[in-house]
Amino acid sequence: MIRRLPSMQVLQAFAATARTGSMTRAADALCVTHGAISRHIRALESQLGCTLFLRAGRQLELTATGRELADDLDRALRAVELSLAGAAERRARERQSLHVNVSPELAGAWLVPRLPQLREALPGLDLSIAASTEDPDFARSDLDVSLRYGPAPFTGYQCLKLLDDDIIVVCSPGFAQRHAGMTAADTAQLPRLRHARFRWSQWGAAAGVALDEPEDGIVFDCRALLIEAAASGMGLALTRGLLAREAIASGRLVQPLPASFPASHNCYIVWRGDNPKQGLIRGFAEWLREVALRG
């Protein structure tokens, strides 16, 4: 077994000469000099200890050993070429792919319904979406972007605010019909669903009425479940306008009263500033923001 393999230049010189039957044509094909091809062939023959070509006039003919080596080398170089092309293709796909971490409620209520629009706007982008309530771990090499609610800024990261969201009151169409003509003051006597973070007193202040928190009833800590409870007709609910947007558009929910108040925390698109996919991430983030602001 040969302890030290010939260089790629030597192997390419031999393969080109074997293919063309001429050192001159091999030199032209590889954009090198005739002398360089000749030196590479001599070096290979010296290393192998055998003759690879016989001269027949101006043409070179392969010996039996040369022919066998040429056939084997041709297959090997083709395999290398395919492997390199595959690696380049995989790298190109990686550059056009983003791993996104998002809260389950935001994914289900807003992001996923807009994926068909995203495919049309950014057709070359492949997304891998992980829904999680945990804080994003950007130490993982496969995480590119996180959509998270929180106070800005996110120290040490790039971020873009999705929009300034409002807390609104929603209910099912059936509930609204049963209580047609309701006013803000009437809500004190109506079934109101509770959420751990949204306070009815804040909404009442925005509506110009004094409201205490409901003393009984289910308390939800998941906004997606809260929206489902409201859509099933259980009562009035406070939720983020962004999360209710799709359900309102589809007719599953209505906004029976116009009062609202600003959310204390908004949704941000967060990513690492040293991520090599900066252009792709910013294009994705700006598209999300544009769609969110569009309503």
| Distance of alpha carbon 95 from alpha carbon 276, whole angstroms | 9
Task: Identify the pLDDT of residue 141.
Answer: 63
| Domain presence at residue 1 | no
Tell me, yes or no, whether 245 and 191 share the same domain: yes
Give the total number of structural domains in the chain: 3
Task: Identify the pLDDT of residue 231.
Answer: 96
Which CATH number does the domain housing residue 69 bear? Answer: 1.10.10.10
Specify the residue for token string 């063309």: 20
| Distance of alpha carbon 207 from alpha carbon 202, whole angstroms | 9
Tell me, yes or no, whether 155 and 269 share the same domain: yes
Task: Identify the pLDDT of residue 170.
Answer: 97
Task: Identify the pLDDT of residue 216.
Answer: 83
**Helix 241-249, helix 223-231: angle, nearest 10:** 30
Total Cβ atoms within 10 A of residue 230: 26
Instruction: From residue 112, give the alpha-carbon distance in Å to each of 99, 109, 249, 285.
Output: 14, 7, 15, 15
Tell me, yes or no, whether 215 and 77 share the same domain: no
From 58, 74, 94, the end of a domain falls on 94
Which CATH number does the domain housing residue 269 bear? Answer: 3.40.190.10
Mean pLDDT, consecutive 10-residue segments, the chain of 295 residues? 80 90 90 92 90 84 91 88 72 73 91 92 88 80 86 81 94 97 95 91 96 87 90 96 94 97 92 90 94 87
Task: Identify the pLDDT of residue 3.
Answer: 67
Task: Identify the pLDDT of residue 89.
Answer: 65
Render the burial of 24-53: b for 16+ CB within 10 Å, e for the rest. Answer: ebbbebbebeeeebeebbebbbeeeeeebb
| Distance of alpha carbon 37 from alpha carbon 27, whole angstroms | 6
Q: 193: domain range?
A: 166-262
Tell me, yes or no, whether 290 and 223 share the same domain: no
Q: Say if residues 259 and 169 touch (Cβ distance below 8 Å).
A: yes
Tell me, yes or no, whether 130 and 274 share the same domain: yes
Task: Identify the pLDDT of residue 221.
Answer: 85
Task: Identify the pLDDT of residue 67.
Answer: 92
